[in-house]
Structure 1
Amino acid sequence: MPQFQFAQNLIPQLAWLAVFFTILYFGIVRLTLPKLGRVISAREGQVSGDLAAAETAKNAADAAATEHKAAIDAAHASGRSTILDAQSRAAANLASAVAATQAELLVKQGEADKALTARRNAALAEVDGAAQDVAADIVARLTGKRPAAGVLTKAAKAAQGA
């Protein structure tokens, strides 16, 4: 095999090696590497642009979230103040209604007390009259004579005083 005879073919093999290496080197380095470099730099630009857009979108989302939280907090505060205002108005209305009802009940109680006192006095007068009639009947059965109305009234007043 002539290719393994290094002593005779070394120089021509090195020359051909140099020729093919030069063709391949310049073919790859000069033609392919610039295209590859442009693709890599284009991708790098796109990735950095996408990262910048993502950062901008993240900042916008954070700002929107902060505004949303502030709006929710403001709405909660407004709702709390509305509830407290409604509770205080309801408490005031309830207090005035209770006071009016109590005044009305006191008036009705006074009227009822007056009516009760009048009925009690009327009932006591009727009881006194009935007691005098019963006493007159008892005296009439025991003595055979009915006493005069004035005598029993005086006796009843004397018994109440004693």
Structure 2
Amino acid sequence: MPQFDFGHVFWSQIAWLAVTFVVLYFGVVRLTLPKLGTVMDAREASISGDLAAAKAARDSAGAVDEAYHAEMNRSREAARSAIAEAKAAAAKSTEAKLAEAGVKADAALTAAETRIAKAVAKAEAEIADAAASSAQAIVAKLTGTEPKLDAAKASVAARI
């Protein structure tokens, strides 16, 4: 077999190998690698630009987020102070209404106590008059002489 006859073919195969290697090497290195390099450079530039844009967007989002949280905190504090003011105003209003109601209740209590005192005094006077009349009638029945009404009233008042 001629392909195994290394004595005659070896140097020619080495020569063809060298020629093929040189052609392929220069074909790949000179023609393909520059095109591949420009594609890789463009891709790296695109990726770097995208990364820079993403970093800028992240920084911008962080600033917007901080501003948002700061505004939310200010709004919460404003709401808390408004609620505290409303509670204070409601407490003052309630205290004023309670004070007014207390004054009205005290006035009504005083008026009721006055009416009760008058009714008690009137009842005591009527009881004293009835007791004096009864005493006068009893004395008249027992002794046969009718005492004066003023004397009976004085006697009843002394006993009460």
Deviation string for 1:77-111 (max 9, x for gaps)? 10111111111111112222222222222222222
Deviation string for 1:92-136 (max 9, x for gaps)? 122222222222222222222222211111110111112123323
Residue in 1 that maps onto 2:104: 104
Task: Please provide the CA RMSD for this pair.
Answer: 1.8
Residue in 2 that maps onto 1:79: 79
Unaligned runs of 5+ in 1: none
Residue in 1 that maps onto 2:21: 21
What is the 5 A alignment of 1:2-151?
2-144=2-144, 146-151=146-151
% same residue: 39
- 1:128 is paired with a residue whose SS is helix
Q: Which amino acid aligns with 1:83?
A: I
Contact 2:139 2:145 (C-alpha < 8 Å) held by counterparts: yes
Report the Cα distance in structure 1 between the residues aligned to 2:9 and 2:157, rounded to whole angstroms: 170
Unaligned runs of 5+ in 2: none
Question: Greater relative contact order: 1 or 2 (C-alpha under 8 angstroms, separation 6 or more)?
Answer: 2
TM-score of the superposed pair, with normalisation by structure 1:
0.87
Deviation string for 1:136-161 (max 9, x for gaps)? 3433443455443122112123324x
